[in-house]
Structure 1
């Protein structure tokens, strides 16, 4: 008998970033495995709704064929503010609209609801839907919440945080299965579970086979790249310092960034006349990977907060996919993967001078750089291919 799955997620194709691409891959691969999979999501709006009026973002013909399986609900409050109360109202609106849609779908015979967090409010809408549909809930955790909320230092209301922790614990315990995209989350989640034997599945972000770069293009100029969010979790001040030093050392620095701190970074580039820094507008995944492929090295930063030690940023996987070794100011899970697989070098995030020194050293040592690039490809093939890792999810669904 064919299994039927409903994916509930805030971010889905064509939304840029790791979350949207992740949900797209799960949707496509489950359908390829003859598991009938539908999606309940919002209309694309991140980082802004107008971005998706450009046809270039709707570049996957296979998704277009399956559009009948995708329900997109409109959200009135689609302004991405850094004010925490505005964000909470935004998440509550999504939860409410998802609940209304789930009520209309209540007669559908879904076997599983696959729901992605953050935000956690969507999860509780999924529990309501699962009750009416008599479905099991697979909870995907892409971020430890509310710890990440505390980590970006925008919310400091102990009573509300305590309430959020109660909701977090209930969320883990009420779900039937839990999926994580970073092994760093496992210990924290286990500490909240009453049933320590509950199945936790590690399903990391990764590329499809056709996205893996096997051979780099030779460039006339040495290039370093940063792609992804420039927000509260990323250390934009350190990135600004690196941009200035790259300019001094005549190194081209490509930045494809979006998020709350993008304007601040652009102003730094303009005010200091950093002509070697090239800013790129948000674009499709294909074009983003092409930019990374054209680069010799990549940069990754996260704020120095303990909660971010558990995170495995999607950009780290994208860099390795494109054979582009990483210079990182991060700790914990991501640092361990980079160091263990010899895919780059990890530093204390304040040690900008040593990072620059290593970049200059690698610029003069193409053989070492090539060895690191080969390690990137080996790591991806052995651990991060979607076509192989999806079997961990299909196994529990087919059960």
Structure 2
């Protein structure tokens, strides 16, 4: 049987921090192990800023470092406009343009599949052009229901442009041969946009087997952790209020955050003299997981918009990977998993008092905490290991 050739198109790739970059790295590595000839077309890591990646600490996967001949990283110029949305638009348009040039160069490379990850939608437009040139099949990975998530964080509300994006969204689903989703909550939405049925494969985020370790007892007081983006979707005001409440209860609160609200949160800690609250600098996935493992309870919440009820946040899976029970202000898919597998508490409210109440309850009930830790480990091993789930994509390609 001829070895299948795949070209992955993605904005996010190792060593970029965040669940998207880690996800694409895992797919890349595991498809290679299944004897699939895969190459990656991506951009130079730049989030939250390019200079951060000059530190070799972030380039900590030697296996991927040795495969640099399979990874093409496109440099993207940083254009500053007074309007942040205009800056982002030019950023995405340049990615699309540069990817188109690369696809033109590869038009005779006998690529069997283009595997493209969205958002952003502009990379998908490049992939459409690529499939016309190369006459291959398109696997579309949907990590977010865009543009719904754009309106959900109230970042953009121009009805004409949103309408145009919705038109592109329908085209995107229609042109894909196979659609991959990272949350089962996306399936019904995508099916409603399709005129004819096509394969939709659920491939969730999760850990690699090597990332699973049995948690040891934590000796340094009672610790709570929050990991993730300090941006618009995560309500920064709620995080501030939560930090104040935990500090008053003398509970150590570690925040591993990055994003445009990071400095605002750091100033808040200092101005309010919150001695039990620490904001940590962005670091590698391995170090992030260690910080989570050294916590008793984890916190998650999203902006209270309906679009986010379909999302399964990567950090919820990271928390369960580290056997750190969750107290979450979430609803929908994430809440269902937490309830069903008894890995913590999911509270469908924007109020902070019930969340803090559950944290205090777990502090006083180590037996319940221990049971939840075991439940976290079980659900991860049963449903979310990459080594098991990658078979779904291998079956499509081979």
Alignment of 1:159-178 (within 5 A): 159-178=160-179
**Cα offsets for 1:137-182 (capped at 9, x unmatched):** 0000000011111001121111111111110000000010000000
Calculate the TM-score normalised by the size of structure 2.
Answer: 0.98
* Aligned residue number for residue 268 of structure 2: 268
* Aligned residue number for residue 181 of structure 2: 180
Bigger mean CA offset, 245-254 vs 206-215 = 206-215
> Does the CA contact (< 8 Å) of 1:301 and 1:328 recur in 2?
yes
- Residue 81 of structure 1 and its aligned partner are, at CA, apart by 9.4
CA distance in 1, matches of 2:62, 2:83: 35
> Does the CA contact (< 8 Å) of 1:207 and 1:385 recur in 2?
yes
Alignment of 1:1-399 (within 5 A): 1-77=2-78, 83-196=84-197, 198-398=198-398
Which runs of 5 or more structure 2 residues have no equivalent in the other structure?
none
CA distance in 2, matches of 1:67, 1:391: 24
- Residue 318 of structure 1 and its aligned partner are, at CA, apart by 0.2
> Does the CA contact (< 8 Å) of 1:82 and 1:260 recur in 2?
no
> Does the CA contact (< 8 Å) of 1:254 and 1:280 recur in 2?
yes
Q: Secondary structure at the match of 2:274?
A: coil
Bigger mean CA offset, 37-46 vs 343-352 = 343-352
**Cα offsets for 1:315-345 (capped at 9, x unmatched):** 0000000000001011111111111110110
Alignment CA distance shift 1:394-1:82 (3 Å) = farther
> Does the CA contact (< 8 Å) of 1:47 and 1:258 recur in 2?
yes
Bigger mean CA offset, 210-219 vs 299-308 = 210-219
CA distance in 1, matches of 2:236, 2:80: 22
**Cα offsets for 1:7-56 (capped at 9, x unmatched):** 00001000000000000000000000000110000001000000000010
> Does the CA contact (< 8 Å) of 1:37 and 1:69 recur in 2?
yes
> Does the CA contact (< 8 Å) of 2:79 and 2:87 recur in 1?
no
**Cα offsets for 1:240-278 (capped at 9, x unmatched):** 111001110100000110011112211211110101101
- Residue 215 of structure 1 and its aligned partner are, at CA, apart by 2.5
> Does the CA contact (< 8 Å) of 1:213 and 1:377 recur in 2?
no
CA distance in 1, matches of 2:81, 2:298: 27
CA distance in 1, matches of 2:125, 2:65: 29
CA distance in 1, matches of 2:320, 2:145: 24
Q: Secondary structure at the match of 1:351?
A: coil
- Root mean square deviation, CA, Å: 1.3
- Residue 82 of structure 1 and its aligned partner are, at CA, apart by 8.3
CA distance in 1, matches of 2:60, 2:349: 37
> Does the CA contact (< 8 Å) of 1:240 and 1:265 recur in 2?
yes
Which runs of 5 or more structure 1 residues have no equivalent in the other structure?
none
CA distance in 2, matches of 1:42, 1:173: 26
Aligned residues: 397
- Residue 85 of structure 1 and its aligned partner are, at CA, apart by 2.4
Alignment CA distance shift 1:379-1:51 (3 Å) = same
